[in-house]
Amino acid sequence: MSPLGTPAILVINPGSTSTKIAVYDGENERFVETIRYDAEKIAECATVFEQFPFRLADVQRLLAEWCVEVGDLDFIMARGGAVRPVHGGSWEITDAMLQDLRTARFADHASSLGALIAHALANGDDSRPPIAVTDPPVTDELDDVARITGHPGFRRLSRFHALNHKAVAHRAAAELGKRYEESRLIVAHLGGGISIGVHRDGRVVDVNDAYDGAGPFSPERSGTLPAGQIVKQLAGGVLTAAEMKRIIVGSGGLVAHLGTNDVREAEAMSRSGGAPALVLDAMVYQIAKEIGAAATVLTGELDAVVVTGSIAHSERIVHDLKRRIAFLGRIIIYPGEDELTALRDAALRILAGEETPCTY
């Protein structure tokens, strides 16, 4: 329990080159810090799990500096990782989950380190606060019809920014005076990757596979590319599979076109017109087209379009996007990614008995 008599909660959110952690006294932030890593240090690790020792040590060091004892915590909530596909909500960190994350059974992703760090912190303390993850990026609530592709050997997968999607969807529903479970929303998360999901009655029933770069292109991802051209590049030996994967995720999008993944730099380049302006216009065009397509899933019965993520700070992009999708009705803008408070709120719901974490 915190000194204020409210629940003391530690949240852990690992990203590709950072680990964000915070300690809350109930809803009040006590400490928050982002531990950043050089890309070179990350590149030295062949797998994400090889990063675990130094990431854990840095979290432990920071907690010691803050004089936070694990035994005084009421809950540790981590960002969900690359577990097997599960429905949204919170999940207990179990041995089975840890094994899947350590072996990268389903994918090798930095978010997987959250549960591993939480378990390591709690496991060494006799009082052992509860530990869980919430809304992992593999959250899968797709309608069956949304899984089908044009060939039975391929399936559409649900891999997206589920934590931020769910958080802003709950927030938007409250703003609309509704429960999330009775709302019909399209959420567009615009960041280094872009995911556009259809939220219907508390489930994300359709979403592009942002992990593999499907959908609109983004600052770092190529989006959906012409399949035939990919086959020719690989079959002709122009590119290896690893090089093509890098083009699809990491060095595509604005990086490939303009040499930067910073939308602010891209906007500065576009002010003189020409190719940079056309590239930014094309990105907005593709985002708008994906949102329009998503509206058909709801047969036009839409409460609001919610635009979130770091790119939602861009006045130009938001203005141009609104111009293209205004006909869909209400548009709500929540810039940034407030994932730490989303993790905190999930822990508070569990501690208040409003939610029971599932067993993995």
**Torsion, Cα of 321, 323, 324, 330 (10° steps):** 80
Same domain, 39 and 128: yes
C-alpha–C-alpha distance, residues 204 and 188, integer Å: 12
Question: Could you report the per-residue pLDDT of 261-282, keeping only the tens digit for each?
Answer: 999 999 999 998 999 999 999 9
**Domain carrying residue 259:** 162-335
Structural domain includes residue 152:
no
Question: Which residue carries 């905190």 as its tokens?
Answer: 344
User: Above 70 in pLDDT, residue 125?
Assistant: no
C-alpha–C-alpha distance, residues 316 and 263, integer Å: 10
pLDDT at 127: 64
Same domain, 129 and 67: yes
Same domain, 166 and 295: yes
Q: What's the whole-model pTM score?
A: 0.88
Same domain, 324 and 231: yes
pLDDT at 4: 61
Same domain, 325 and 343: no
pLDDT at 113: 96
Same domain, 87 and 217: no
Domain of 254: which CATH number? 3.30.420.40
Token output for 107: 């994918």
Rounded to an integer, the average pLDDT of 236-252 is: 90
**What pLDDT band is residue 53 in, cutting at 50, 70 and 90?**
very high
Structural domain includes residue 154:
no
Same domain, 176 and 281: yes
Strands laid side by side in the 8-14 sheet: 28-36, 18-25, 8-14, 75-79, 131-134, 90-92, 358-359
Structural domain includes residue 1:
no
**What pLDDT band is residue 126 in, cutting at 50, 70 and 90?**
low
Structural domain includes residue 147:
no
pLDDT at 149: 96
Q: How many helices (DSSP H) and strands (DSSP E) are in the chain?
A: 13, 12
Same domain, 79 and 174: no
